[in-house]
Each structure stands twice: as C-alpha cells, then as structure tokens.
Amino acid sequence: MPMRIAVFLSWTVGVVVSNNAALRLAALDTTLKPRINSLAIAYNTSYTVAVHHADFEKPWVFTSGIDNHAQGSLMNIGLLIPQGSVTKPFTVATMLKLQEQGIWKLDEPAHKFVDPFLLQHNGTTMLELWKDSRINDVTLRQLGSMQSGIHDYNDTELFTFFQNNPQFDVSPFDMLHQVNKTLWFSPGNGSAYSTTGFQLLGLALANVFKIEHWQDLDQKWIFPHRDSYPGIEFSKPGPCSQFFNMAHQWMALEWPEFQDIIDYSCLNSWAGGNIAATAQDIAQWWLELFDGTVLSPESVREMTTVHLNTDYFSIGSFYAFGLEVLDWGGGKSKAMNDTGVMFGHGGGDYGSCGYGGFQFDYNFSFHWQSNSYVGMNSSAGEKSNHKAKSWVRCSLYNDVLQIMSNFTADVLPCALKPQP
C-alpha cells in the first residue's frame, strides 16, 4: 500500500535558527572546501556541492577540479552539468501544478492525453504500439510513479548507439518504438523504474500545452518566475555545446580512456532526462519545491507518497512520485527511517551526473554533481574510480548532514568506510 510521509512541515521543526546560519555557513567553508579540493585531485575530476536552507540568503556552493582536461581549464560554479533523470521531478511538478489548476486529474488514463499528439505527429497510439489492452488503463500518475508496468529503455543498446552516433538525437518517438512492449505487471500492481513513461508524459504535456512540435515543450513553465533558476536549462535537440556555459563531460571508454562529449547530443531522454544545471540552482529548486513556493501542500503530499519497487532494478527500495528516496548510505533507501534520508533524485548521462534532494528532519537541501560519471585517476585503478562516485557523494553529504544537524545525526555508514 502507498504510504504518505508527513513531510510538509513547519520550518519550526528541526530548524537551524537565523543566528546560527552564519555558523553553519562558516562550518561548511571550513569542512567542505578542503575535502572537495582533495577529492577532486584524488580522482582527477570535478566535484561541486551546494547546500541551501531557508535561513541562508542564497545557497552555499563550492566546486573544485578540472573542466576541460585537454586544455587544463578548471571547473567553475557557473558551468552547466547534464544530469539526466534529475529532470523527472520537474516533469512531475508540472503535472501536479496542472492538476491544481484543474487542467487534468492525474488518475485519468494517460492515453487520453498522449494519443492525440502521438497520432498527429507519429501516426500511432499507445494501444497500437503496445498491442496490449492494459496499456489504456495506465494513468498519468502511474507513469510518474513508476507503477505503469512499462519497460525502461535498454541502456546497453542505447550506450552503444550513442557512441556510434554521437550527434543523433533520440526522439521520444524513437524511444517508444524501440522499447520492449511487454508489461512487467498490470498497471498499478507493482513498481519498476521506467524513463519510457516520462517520454509519454512529455507527449501528454505537449498536447495539453497545444504545441506543434514536442521539442518546443516549455519545461521552465513550472518555475515560479522565468528567471527563478538562471542556472537550469533543458536541452533541445543538438549538442551540449549549444549552451555557451556548458561544462565538458567525460565519458569512460576502455579504461583508462575518456572521451569529451560536449559536442554530442544533449537531449538524452527529454522529459525524463534532459536537464543541465548548476548545483546551486538545483539546491534552490529542491528547497522551494517543498516549502510552498512551487506547489501546494496537497501536491507536495502527493509527490512524497512512497511505495516499494517490486521489479527491474532497485527492488525493495522506495520511490515516490517523480522522486527517489535517497539514503546516501547505499544510494536508494530501503528503510524510511534511515539516517539522513532525503526526497530527491539522482541522474546522469554518459559523461556526467548529479544527485540531491531535500532533508526534512533538518530542513536543508543538498546537491552534488560531477562532470565525469566515474573517477578519472588512471593511477588509482579502474575499480577504485568506479566506486568513487557513490562514496564521494555520500561522504560529502555526511559532512553536510552533521553540520546541519548540529552533529546530532548518526554518522552515515559510507563515512566509516575507507576511501576507494
């Protein structure tokens, strides 16, 4: 059964009081900056961390490491980093805002909104694609909460295609035609991660907003103001380098070779994964997503209704509505009372990644990102570099958690493990 977590809380619960904000910021400076510097050097890449709280004037942010290895230029906090599935909460927040406005109800069948656009622009329908009558029972909510039964795309095949066709933009129609059309389960009777469902949600939104071409979907519509998050972009078809402030991204090939993919397609999985952003703007988004700036309290409750993943990967962990439940000890929480558990999302493309969310016990947001999916220190060995991502982000999050909790939170297991 779904579980509602009482997360839309007053800022009086566990709040860092105003006269302590300066102390917290100073502690972040003292603790985080040298650690981020040393870790970026250790793994020959860049790491950026941003932290925000209602009592901070703006997000705390720090970055260290290399942006362009060919030229030796350094990362800076104004560069955008693609981070894939971090897009998903923006898509679901848009859906919820439309429900608040009475445009649709999220328990309506998805095909009602998808099929008109799909038929007009691709000559087909969901039923014709899946050839399974159960597909018409899939609701908008089930697509965003991973409870539709629809398969995810084949990541191995897509990675190979991406390497061989770096400038090719995989459209939502391409993905829908290529994905496995069997269902994991009848809609609503399980949970399995599926970015494919977000392709369908993107088409549903395109239909609601009455746009002519799917790529014209305004994914910033959900922003409280057009200039709310200047460091967040949603990529259209074309290379990542179409943005003047885009970071270089380093895709791992045969160890220890890496390829700069800044001139590759940046579309990724569109409404399920085309964000490129600065850490500080996403940290601000995480804070405002849950404090009433973006959505109503009821929408936040809907977005944070959790259930167990039953199929595919991450079985036994929790997912909500466009949100992962992150415990940072192992990545995706398998116990809602894990220390430091957050509502947020992780994501990446083949050359960069980001992870973050909001921590309700201590009322702060956290976001971590890197312009390589794995470490790039060839002298450290392949295994160490591949383990770097999860350990580094968790270890740095533990430092933040301790500071923001006045050192009352339990130390995360990752911080007790040796560095890879």
| Domain range list for the chain | 3-86+277-416
> Residue 118 — very low, low, confident or very high, per pLDDT cuts 50/70/90?
very high
Longest dimension (CA), the chain: 61
pLDDT of residue 208: 98
Rounded to two decimals, what is the model's pTM?
Answer: 0.94
Reduced to 3 states, what is the DSSP secondary structure of residue 161? helix
Query: Is the per-residue pLDDT at 311 higher than 80?
Result: yes
Once rounded to an integer, what is the mean pLDDT over residues 234-262? Answer: 95
> Residue 336 — very low, low, confident or very high, per pLDDT cuts 50/70/90?
low
- Best mean pLDDT range from 4-18, 19-33, 40-54: 40-54
Once rounded to an integer, what is the mean pLDDT over residues 66-87? Answer: 98
What is the percent of the chain where pLDDT is above 90? 84
pLDDT of residue 17: 36
CA distance 82 to 373: 11
pLDDT in tens, 256-292: 999 999 999 999 999 999 999 999 999 999 999 999 9
Higher pLDDT, 14 or 143: 143
The mean pLDDT value of the chain amounts to 92
pLDDT of residue 285: 98
> Residue 155 — very low, low, confident or very high, per pLDDT cuts 50/70/90?
confident
pLDDT in tens, 125-150: 999 999 999 999 999 999 999 999 99
pLDDT in tens, 209-239: 999 999 999 999 999 998 999 999 999 999 9
pLDDT in tens, 85-100: 999 999 999 999 999 9
pLDDT of residue 314: 76
Based on the number of CB atoms within 10 Å of its own CB, is 296 exposed (0-12), middle (13-18) or buried (19 or more)?
Answer: middle
Out of 6-20, 97-111, 158-172, 268-282, pick the least confident. Answer: 6-20
CA distance 280 to 229: 9
pLDDT of residue 125: 98
Quick one: tokens of 413? Answer: 């297991």
Q: What is the DSSP string of 67-121?
A: EETTTTEEP-TTSBEE-GGGGHHHHHHHHHHHHHTTS--TTSBTHHHHHHHHHHH
pLDDT of residue 36: 98
Query: Is the per-residue pLDDT at 415 higher than 90?
Result: no
> Residue 413 — very low, low, confident or very high, per pLDDT cuts 50/70/90?
confident
Asked if 319 contacts 197 with a C-beta cutoff of 8 angstroms, the reply is no
> Residue 13 — very low, low, confident or very high, per pLDDT cuts 50/70/90?
very low
Asked if 388 contacts 372 with a C-beta cutoff of 8 angstroms, the reply is no
Q: Minimal CA–CA distance to 95: which of 26, 145, 148, 151?
A: 145
Query: Is the per-residue pLDDT at 253 higher than 50?
Result: yes
pLDDT in tens, 359-382: 999 999 999 999 999 999 999 999
Asked if 66 contacts 46 with a C-beta cutoff of 8 angstroms, the reply is yes
